[in-house]
Amino acid sequence: MKIYLVGGAVRDQLLNYPYKDKDYVVVGATVGEMLEQGYAPVGKDFPVFIHPKTKAEYALARTERKSGVGHKGFDIFASPDVTLEQDLQRRDLTINAMAQIEGELVDPYGGLNDLKAKVLRHVSAHFNEDPLRVLRVARFAARYAHLGFSIAPETMALMHEMVIEGELTSLTAERVWQEIQSSLGERSPNVFFDVLRQCGALAVIFPELDALFGVPQPKEHHPEIDTGVHTLMVLQQAALLSKSTVVRFAALTHDLGKGLTPVKYWPSHHGHEKKGLSALKALAIRLRVPNDHLALSEKVMEFHTHCHRGLELKATTLLSLLDSVGAFRQVEKLEQFLLACEADSRGRLGLESNEYPQAKWLKKAYLAANKVSAKEFIDQGFSGKQIGEAITKKRIEVIKQLREKGI
C-alpha cells in the first residue's frame, strides 16, 4: 500500500498559493484493508475513506468510464491493481494530475512544466467525458488569472468542440450552479464568464448574459459601449469591493434587461430595470439560484439607477428606496445593495477609480431615519396605521433637514 498526496494541495504548494484541503490516493489497497486500519467509508459510488484522526479524504486509486449511470454518469473501477498513473490520467488538467509521496513529486503528465509555463492544459482525451470540466477549466482560469495563467489552445478547442456537440446540455442545474457560485468566489470571477463565452458555453448555460454582448449603450455614460463588456467590468469591480458571492451575482445580473431592448431603440434602454426581472426570475428557477442571491439581484436590478441618482432624489423617493431594499429590516441588505451599485458605477471604461458619494449619502440618510422610533408616537396616543404614517412623515422630515445641512 502506498499513499500519495494528490491534486490541489500539490498544485498550490508548488505555486505557493494558499490551500486548505488535502486529498490522498491510496494505491495497492482493498476496502477491507482500509477498514481494518480504522478508516471510515463515505460515499456510495466509489471507495473514499476518512482518516480516523486527521479527517482528510483518502480514495482508492480508480479509473472511470463514461456510462450515464453511477457517480455523475461514470462507472467507477477501484482495485489494488489500478496504478497511480491510471488514476491521475482521469483528472482534468495536468496541473491537477501531480502527486507527492514523502516529499517526492510524481508527475507523469507534465504538470510541473505547465505550472511553470502558467498553462491550463487537459491531461488526455478522457477530458471530454465530463462536460463539467469546461466550467472547471474556466474556474481555474478565474482563480489564477492574476498569476498570468492562460488556457492551452488545444484545450480551448476541445472545450469548444464539446459545446458544439451539445455535451453541456446534459449537466444538471445543481452542478452548473455549484461551479458558477464557486467561480464567483474566485479572485477574478469575470474571467470565468469570459472563458465560457470564448468557447461558446456561455450561450448554453447563461444565455441571458451572453445576449448582452454586442448590445450598445450611450457612449456618454458608457465609454466601453458594449453591455456585455460593461457587465464583466462591473463584476470585476464587485470582486474588488466584496468577497460576497451574493453581491457579485447581483453585479453580474443587474443589466440583464438591456438584452431585451428592441434593436430599434438602441443604444437607449428605457425601463430595462424592470424588464429584466422576469428574465432574472426564470434564470434563478432554471439554475436553482439560492434565495439570498436572487433577492439582492432583484433589488439591484430594479433600483440601481435610483441609487446612482441618490444625491438628487427627493426625501420621499429616497426613503422609499431605503424601504424597498429592506434597509430598515436588515441593514446588511443596504450594505450589499450599495456595494453592487458602486461596482456598477465603477465598471465603466476610464471610471474604475471614481468615488461613489451616493453610497455615503444613502448610509447617512438611513442612519438618521432609522433613529425615528415608534415609541414617541405611541406615547402621543397614536395607534394602528397612524403609527406607521407618523414614522414615515418624521423620517422624511429628518432626511430633508439632513440635506439642508449639506450632503
Predicted pLDDT of residue 8:
93
Task: Note the Cα 109 to chain centre separation in Å.
Answer: 30
Q: Which amino acid is at 403?
A: R
And the C-alpha cell for 194?
469570459
Angle between helices 331-346 and 291-308 (to 10 degrees): 60
Helices (H), 219-271: 227-241, 245-253
Q: Bridge partners of 77?
A: 63
Question: Which residue has better confidence, 124 or 80?
Answer: 124
Q: Provide CB contacts within 8 A for 249, sequence distance 6+.
A: 181, 184, 289, 293, 296, 297
- The confidence band for 70, taking pLDDT boundaries of 50, 70 and 90, is very low
Cell numbers at 246, concatenated: 451574493
Contacts of 31 (CB under 8 A, 6+ apart): 41, 47, 60
Alpha carbon distance 34, 42 (integer Å): 12
pLDDT at 44 exceeding the cut of 70:
no
Dump the DSSP string for 287-324.
HT--HHHHHHHHHHHHHHHHHHTTTT--HHHHHHHHHH
In the block, cell 502558467 appears at 118
- Distance of alpha carbon 194 from the chain centroid: 13
Domains of the chain: 1-127 (3.30.460.10), 239-366 (no CATH), 371-404 (no CATH)
The tens digit of pLDDT for each residue in 179-236 reads: 999 999 999 999 999 999 999 999 999 999 999 999 999 999 999 999 999 999 999 9
Backbone torsions φ then ψ of 94, nearest 5 degrees: -60, -35
77 pLDDT more than 80: no
Q: Say if pTM beats, i.e. exceeds, 0.75.
A: yes
Asked if residue 201 lies in contact with residue 138, where contact means CB atoms within 8 angstroms, the answer is yes
Q: What is the C-alpha to C-alpha distance for residues 214 and 275, in angstroms, rounded to an integer?
A: 19
pLDDT classification of 62: cutoffs 50, 70, 90: confident
406, pLDDT greater than 80: no
Kindly report each contact of residues 363-368 with a partner whose C-beta sits within 8 Å and lies 24 or more positions away, as own/partner.
363/334, 363/338, 364/402, 364/407, 365/318, 365/319, 365/322, 365/399, 365/402, 366/322, 366/327, 366/328, 366/331, 366/334, 368/398, 368/399, 368/402
CA separation for the pair 175, 191 (Å, rounded): 19
pLDDT for 63 equals 84
